[in-house]
Amino acid sequence: MNATPSPEKDLKAQLDGATPVMAQYLEVKAANPGSLLFFRMGDFYELFFEDAEQAAGALSLALTKRGKHQGEDIPMAGVPAHAAEAYIAKLIRMGFRVAICDQLEDPSEAKKRGYKAVVKRGITRIVTPGTLTEESLLEERGANRLVALSQRAGVMALASLELSTGEVECLELTPETLGTHLSALRPSESLVSDRILQDENLYALLKYCGGAIQPQPASLSDPAAGEARLKRLYGVETLDGFGAFSPAELSALGMLAAYIDLTQAGKAPLLKAPRKVASLAYLAIDPSTRLSLEIERTQKGSREGSLMSAIDRTITSGGSRLLAARLSRPLNNPVEINRRLDGVQWFLAQRTLRQEVRGRLRGMSDMARALSRLGLGRGGPRDLKVIRDCLDLAKDLVGLLQPNDPETRLDPDWPAEIHAHVEALTASQNVLDLLFKLDTALVDEPPLSTRDGGFIKPGYDTNLQDAISLRNDSRQIILRMESDLQQETGLPLKIKYNAVLGYFIELTAKQAEALSDTHRQRFIHRQTLANQMRFSTPDLIDLDARIARAGSDALNLELAIFEDLREEVRRNAHPLQDMFDAFCALDVAAAAAEWAEDLEATRPVVDDSLVFDAKGARHPVVVAALRTEGKPFTPNDCCLDASGQSGPRLDLVTGPNMAGKSTFLRQNALLVITAQAGLFVPAASFRLGVVDRLFSRVGAGDDLAQGRSTFMMEMVETAAILTQATQRSFVILDEIGRGTATFDGLAIAWACAENLHEVVKARALFATHYHELAQLESLLAHTHNISMTAREWNGELIFLHEAKRGAADRSYGVQVARLAGMPPVVVARAKDILERLETDKAHQLKLDDLPLFATVQAQVAVAAVQKPAETELEKAVKGINPDDLSPREALEVIYRLRGLV
Ligand SMILES: Nc1ncnc2c1ncn2[C@@H]1O[C@H](COP(=O)(O)OP(=O)(O)OP(=O)(O)O)[C@@H](O)[C@H]1O
């Protein structure tokens, strides 16, 4: 195979005998390992050696050869530069990284340095999954995040950056909570120091929800160097203005900064100040719970059928991204949740205004992404138009939302949330100046790229006006010259243009023969083709030069004006980003109100209690699915109280197969997410004492760590719930213990239910087919039996889907098997066996054998055998990696440990 000479090999040896261009290629390639190198040559991006072979395979390109290197053919594949974006998108989706090496000067410049001089080339960007900015490469309604994970002195930190919108945040966490945060951010790419990747569990987790993993050398995670890089990235002398960051956070943020520097080839993107997030500010949802509740995606990975798709009525792509972010990371502070709810309620009450706002938002483009492209020097005139249109829209919305009467501005009904958004949309004088400039400078419908000009109104600048007039006049002159020459020669010659010859006179071979001697002397021969001959004249050469100058003068002037406008946009980046956030938040509030109206959803009462009291609640996704089939959904109540005062702490849910147990469990968990995301809920009423962690063990889970059986996974997840849940948590457990022998399963289910009730004390729903568990109601103080009802009528099983107080008597499994189309002979046989089992006492579970009355003792025993919780000191010591520490950090660690004793 013609492998690219590896960077490890001596570059000098590789360069031996290489042509100048190939030497340039090899140097760039050696400096950028790990990426496919797109090497610009004229109108194409070419790939060589192994890169060519890989790209040809991945993109179905023709694999050709270009000369020889050290005696062997050089494989080559190429894509036209104008179509490169589509090919790059495909490669990124396949998991490649692409380094773009562009020509940094015009070939004519190189020629001036000598016949053999090579055009200067350099990396202008490395395209990676987490650093995309182009519309065509980004998912419109999905976020695209890059994260960095670091561990310093026993503290772990996760930093995240969204280049296309400028969001940056970081937080400290523990290895146990990493999954919760990582799965909420769903990064496209993760930068992780080599050393952390050696931890198998962390590696498995990152592989599962970290996107493309980019191992980073330990040298890049040094906090002091990270701080210096951050200062450079933000162009500040000190980070104090952003807040105080721990060494672990600086290390993670510093890794992001280094990667941005590398991939953007030194260009500084427009980033918001890094936001320090408190790890406990959000409802914690671990990856398996997230997956089983199908919040942003279904278990199969599609958006359709998820909670997000059922709720999303947003108009703009930014609004949709914000809603997804809120559903992925619901809050747990009642004050903040209620603030969001105020906004929704306000819009719900103002139907006409809401429709008007939504109508206005319909025309809005993605300003954040346009801004980010302009910031990186990648944007075009159309991105400026997006900014202009959004500024116009902001003015419009402020007028619409602001109460007309200045007095009512203090109207208490105008929620703080809406007020803050209107403030952000109200342009400062600088922003108004920018809008004025964009309005006067930019044509109404500018092209995507600056390449051909035509995006600045000629009247904006007198020099531009002059150059354009000359260019346009010259075209007239060409036409005049053509007709003069036609008359003079009596031949229907044409004056044409191409990039190589410029303007030229074209005649057919026959016409050329008919030229008079005088004309033959005046016409300068330029080219002979099969049927045509091309000439020039001194006048035409002169005119050609003038036109070319006027054209390039006009283009250069337009480019200078574009740069000026771009710079002005850059200067106003922060208010523009705030404006964009306000657009998105308004879109979400109005869309949430729209959804609330559609679904007759109500405002949840969110407080600090330990209550969960839902009346007439519905499952938003199942409702939508049934609605398409024209079927109704049966609303249900669920009342729990972890304190045991106003309701049970634990509901044991029994009922036949297909009766709606899982739906009931999930619907209540989704109520928690929806309410804490600051949205109305599909229920007649709902009171919720905020939940700190949500746990769901429903159905077969995905094996994150691989190699574990379904039952093992179930046990691992259940163990995590029992050890991590607190009294403020909300737990749903579905059919724990079903994957093993009946007695083992029942015993495990029994013990788990007891532990949940007696030790964890969280609000919990526990669905089971072990009807024996119903006995627990009489043994545990705060447990109720709930059953999903069904009736047998004329031999038919009818599901009522009603959650009623009391235990179910039977499972109707055989009837359900019949409904599922099981062969009649098997159903009949199953019925027969069931009857025998039910009458055969020997096979029946003897309840007396179970330690029904040993519940309390059992709990004491459980508590005794439970491993004592790890102390803070133990946790801190375990997290220290001595190799990571500088002497100064080691001293800080000693002080910190001393403080924990
Ligand atoms: N409240 C409801 N109103 C109307 N239809 C419902 C309701 N709840 C569930 N269903 C319908 O019943 C079907 C089965 O529900 P679900 O899967 O929750 O039952 P289950 O009791 O968990 O079954 P199994 O024990 O077999 O797992 C759902 O797909 C849905 O179409």
pLDDT at 854: 44
Identify whether the C-beta of residue 156 lies closer than 8 Å to the C-beta of residue 248.
Answer: yes
Decide if pLDDT at 845 tops 50. no
Q: Who contacts 128 (Cβ-Cβ below 8 Å, separation ≥6)?
A: 92, 97, 146, 189, 212, 214, 263
- Confirm whether 716 is domain-assigned: yes
Beta strands, E only, 671-724:
685-689, 693-697
- 3-state secondary structure at position 262: helix
One domain for residues 97 and 157: no
Give 477 Cα–ligand 1 centroid separation in angstroms. 80
403 φψ region: left (φ > 0), alpha (ψ -120 to 50), beta (else): beta
The angle at the Cα of 564, spanning 562 to 568, to the nearest 5 degrees, equals 115
Residue 403 has pLDDT above 70, yes or no: no
Whether 370 is in a domain gets the answer no
**Burial (Cβ within 10 Å: 0-12, 13-18, ≥19) of residue 387:** buried
Mean pLDDT of the chain: 86
Axis-axis angle for helices 538-571, 381-401 (nearest 10) = 40
Return the pLDDT at 50: 93
Residue 474 near residue 507 (C-beta atoms within 8 A): no
Ligand 1 binding pocket includes 367 (Cβ within 6 Å): no
Give the residue-averaged pLDDT of 622-637.
92
Using an 8 Å Cβ cutoff, are 281 and 333 in contact?
yes
Give the mean model confidence (pLDDT) for residues 576-601.
95
Q: For residues 448 and 385, what is the distance between their CA atoms, to the nearest angstrom?
A: 10
Query: Would you say residue 807 has pLDDT above 50?
Result: yes
518 and 662 both lie in a single domain: no
Residues 689 and 743 in one domain: yes
In a domain, 323, yes or no: no
pLDDT of residue 866: 46
Task: State which H helix or E strand residue 617 sits in.
Answer: strand 611-617
Q: Is residue 391 part of a domain?
A: no
Quote the ligand 1 centre to 556 CA distance (angstroms). Answer: 67
Q: Would 423 be classed as within a structural domain?
A: no
Q: Among 241, 276, 293, which residue terminates a domain?
A: 293
Write the CATH number for 286: 3.30.420.110
Residues 116 and 160 grouped into a single domain: no
pLDDT in tens, 530-550: 888 999 999 899 888 888 788
Q: pTM for the full model?
A: 0.81
CATH number where 107 lies: 3.40.1170.10
For 124-152, give the secondary structure using H, E and C. Answer: EEEECHHHCCCCCCCCCCCCCCEEEEEEE
- Ligand 1 centre to CA of 112 (Å) is 77
- Give the chain's length: 901
Highest mean pLDDT of the ranges 142-146, 348-352, 747-751: 348-352
Q: What is the mean pLDDT of residues 712-723?
A: 82
Other C-beta atoms lying within 10 Å of the C-beta of residue 645: 11
pLDDT tier at 600, thresholds 50, 70, 90 = very high
Ligand 1 atom having least distance to the Cα of 663: 18
pLDDT in tens, 15-43: 888 888 999 999 999 998 889 999 999 89
Exposure of 890 in the CB half-sphere (CA atoms within 13 A):
7
Distance CA 892, CA 889 (A): 5
Residue 851 has pLDDT above 90, yes or no: no
- State whether 819 and 715 are in the same domain: yes
Given a cut of 80, is residue 848 above it in pLDDT?
Answer: no
**Which pairs from 517-521 meet CB under 8 Å and 24+ separation?**
519/488, 519/489
pLDDT, tens digit (0-9, with 9 covering 90-100), for 665-714: 999 999 999 999 999 999 999 999 999 999 998 765 444 445 566 777 77
Counting ligand 1 atoms within 8 A of each CB, the residue from 631, 652, 662, 768 with the most, and so the one to mutate, is 662
Confidence of residue 282 (pLDDT cuts 50, 70, 90): very high
Helix locations, 135-286, DSSP H: 175-185, 194-197, 200-209, 223-234, 247-263
pLDDT for 859 equals: 46
**Residues in the annotated binding site for ATP:** 655-662
Nearest C-alpha to atom 11 of ligand 1 is from which residue?
Answer: 660
Same structural domain, 658 and 766: yes
Binding residues: 655-662
In angstroms, the CA 119 to CA 364 distance is 42
525 φ, ψ to 5°? -70, 135
Counted domains in the chain? 4
Rounded Cα distance between 674 and 344, Å, is 13
Residue 532 lies in a domain: yes
Using alpha carbons only, give the angle 714, 718, 721 rounded to the nearest 5 degrees.
145
Quick one: 39 and 162 in the same domain?
A: no
Q: For a substitution probing ligand 1, which of 623, 663, 811 has the most ligand atoms within 8 Å of its CB?
A: 663
Domain of residue 639, CATH code = 3.40.50.300
Share of the chain above pLDDT 70, in %: 92
**Residue 79: predicted pLDDT:** 94
Model pLDDT, residue 707: 54
Answer whether residue 817 shows pLDDT above 80: no
- Report yes or no: 123 and 87 within 8 Å, Cβ to Cβ: no
Same domain, 85 and 205: no
- Model confidence pLDDT, tens digit, residues 182-198: 999 999 999 998 888 88
Closest CA to 811 of 676, 692, 601, 658: 658
> 373-382, 441-450, 617-626, 837-846: which has the minimum mean pLDDT?
837-846
pLDDT over 70 at 739, yes or no: no
Residue 535: per-residue pLDDT: 92
Out of 96-100, 778-782, 838-842, which region has the weakest mean confidence (pLDDT)?
838-842
Whether residue 666 sits in one domain with residue 807: yes
331, part of any domain? no
CB 727 within 8 A of CB 610: yes
How open is the CA angle 645-647-652, to the nearest 5 degrees? 135
Domain end: 841, 867, 882, which one?
841
pLDDT for residue 251 is more than 90? yes
Q: State the pLDDT confidence band at 172, using cuts at 50, 70 and 90.
A: very high
Domain extent, residue 605, equals 600-841
- 516 vs 887: CA distance, rounded Å: 93
The pLDDT of residue 898 is above 50: yes
Give per-residue pLDDT as tens, 424-443: 998 888 899 999 999 999 99
Specify the higher pLDDT residue, 778 or 585.
Answer: 585
Q: Is residue 67 included in any domain, yes or no?
A: yes
- Give CA separation, 881 vs 155, 215, 222, 224, in Å: 10, 18, 13, 17
Per-residue pLDDT at 411:
54
State residue 716's pLDDT score.
77
Enter the DSSP assignment of 870: P
CA dist 198 to 203, 354, 439, 882, Å?
7, 53, 56, 15
- Residue nearest atom 10 of ligand 1, based on CA coordinates: 660
The closest-lying atom of ligand 1 relative to the alpha carbon of residue 632 is 4
Lowest mean pLDDT among 65-74, 285-294, 737-746: 737-746
Please determine, for residue 332, whether its predicted confidence score (pLDDT) is greater than 90: yes
Residue nearest to atom 23 of ligand 1 (CA): 658
Q: Between helices 381-401 and 573-599, what is the axis angle to 10°? A: 60
Token duo for residue 68: 């020889």
622 CA distance to ligand 1 middle (Å):
9
Give the percent of the chain with pLDDT over 90: 49
Please say if the pLDDT value at position 856 is more than 60.
no
70-99 confidence digits (pLDDT tens): 888 899 999 999 889 889 989 988 889 999
CB of 635 closer than 6 angstroms to any ligand 1 atom: no
ipTM, two decimals, is 0.98
Which pLDDT score is estimated for 190?
Answer: 95
Cα-based distances in Å from 714 to 700, 764, 859, 860: 7, 17, 22, 24
In this structure, which residue's CA is closest to atom 26 in ligand 1? Answer: 657
Residue where a domain terminates, one of 795, 817, 841: 841
Whole-angstrom distance, CA of residue 459 vs CA of residue 87: 39
- E-strand ranges in 660-795 read 685-689, 693-697, 730-734, 763-767, 783-793
CA of 699, closest atom in ligand 1: 27
How confident is the model at residue 543, as a pLDDT? 84
Stretch 245-265: mean pLDDT: 93
**Whether 668 and 757 share a structural domain:** yes
pLDDT at residue 377 is higher than 60: yes
| Local structure of residue 515 (DSSP, 8 states) | -
500 by DSSP, 3-state: which? coil
774, 632: one domain:
yes
pLDDT-derived band at 861 (thresholds 50, 70, 90) equals very low
- Which candidate, 694, 699, 696, places its Cα nearest to that of 710? 699
Q: Please check whether residues 703 and 823 belong to one and the same domain.
A: yes
- The closest-lying atom of ligand 1 relative to the alpha carbon of residue 659 is 21
